[in-house]
Structure 1
Amino acid sequence: MLKGTIVKGIGGFYYVNTGCGVYECRARGKFRLEKVTPTVGDFVEISVIDENGRKGSLDVIFARRNELIRPRVSNVDQAAIVFAAKSPALNPDLLDRFIILAERQKLDVIICINKIDIDKSEKYKDIAEIYTKSGFKVIPLSAEEGTNIDLLREELNGKISVFAGPSGVGKSSLLNAVNPMLGLNTGEISAKIERGKHTTRHAELMEIFDGSFIVDSPGFTSLFLDDIEKDELQYYFREFRPYIGNCRFSGCSHIHEPECAVKAHVGGRINEMRYNRYVNIYDELSNERKK
């Protein structure tokens, strides 16, 4: 018996990375009877049927820590959200939308700001300070110069991570810096994601080094928030959480109501720009419901 992680599932076959190689497995019939579907990211136990051909039987699925719907993958630990300090310019509105998606799926968040070597004015430091004070882990990086790559490697070590961000920010370059043996071409991660833009694809795990995986799926790149209810948005701004429930009115939107505990901390513990984006997105969701 071998333990491993399902890294891909196609047509009833499950590909399990055991640390001793990847085995193509069929799931035992008991899972179908129990209405359990093996999922990419599952920690499993297999028995080897053909060692030379790397064929096996998927016998045990261990309890899942979590299961994401989009992308469909289990046991994800965190989202590494990558933006560039410059070229392309860092867009805080876009960053917040990525964060909302990660928070909604209850993932830890690491904000990676790449290309700090070309930001001679060091404006990225202002952004880093805002998000650090808002409760996020922020890593300033340069794939070109190797700056803080050791910190990123440490954060990815032994985890399953969604690696997300707009095109052109250097996601592939960062992964190559983390592990030069990957040999990814520039834009390869984005190209893989775009490949699934108009088709249904299953999530796939890419091993970046031993026991450390990146989710390769188009699902997390969708920035449409139209399936989020406006009243739940407050929970995805983590700096609001200490004050939610302390407002004068139950069901407070934290926008128009008087004696709002959240608004009382705007400009202090709650960054004003982050709050304004909350208001904009709340209004956006409200208008969407009226259509």
Structure 2
Amino acid sequence: MAYQTFDLSVKDHIAHLQLKRPAELNTMTPAFWSEIKAIFETLEQDPEVRVAVLSSTGKHFTAGMDLSVFASLAPTIADEARKREELRRKILKLQDCFSIIERMRFPVLVAIQGGCIGGGVDLVTACDARYMTRDGFIQIAEINIGMTADVGTLQRLPRLIPEGVVRELAYTGRRLGAERALALGLVNEVFEDHAALLAGVFKVAAEIAGHSPLAVAGTKEMLNFTRDHSVADGLNYIATWNAGMLMGNDMPEALAARMQKRAPDYEALPPATKSLL
């Protein structure tokens, strides 16, 4: 299927989503929002996918929300209370376009070149790991246009870097450059240029894709759960998870592959259930 804002490919268990509007700085148009959710819903049904890489094209990763989206958010209902309720639901739908990334059973790695601005920060903070070019930066730019960021940055970024740094960035609209982002732990690695960035991220993705997809899915589930719960709750959940998942075929296959000095051959996960029937 052809998309307006993305190129999509799947090879060697790695899905590659690439923003493809460099001349427009990869702004997030209305099509972007519908397409990113549809793409992840499609990938969730593909048993071949074990990891995804999200990248972009051109000078900047993304300049953030396209102005046309703000126009489309304008409520059309006359009653003031119902107008506000409609707008709230629209914002929640935008949030879910990025929250779906967290719900994927596979990790999503993001390669950031140049600027990652506004809604781009909402997007990359929902991913499992971030990588950046040396000229890269993030910017919580919403404050510069008189609004509060509302699609995930203010909820996720304080769990990734110190809260005081987040507050400074959010209150001032300043840029956070690649080297400081690396020092703070926001990005895993900084690369000299875009080509090196993609090569490095795909190397990580290939390593992940070589592991048991069930074990990777369980690891992501546990990390997300533990982030939002107590240590005791997390320990209880992993005990229950492994009581159900540990006795499958993957651990014997991993041990056999190691003894036989070959790559393990893991069974794909079944497609995610879309309906009760």
TM-score, normalised on structure 2?
A: 0.28
Q: Whose strand fraction is larger, Structure 1's or Structure 2's?
A: 1
TM-score, normalised on structure 1?
A: 0.27
Q: Whose helix fraction is larger, Structure 1's or Structure 2's?
A: 2
| Structure with larger RCO (C-alpha < 8 A, sep 6+) | 2
Q: Which has the larger radius of gyration?
A: 1
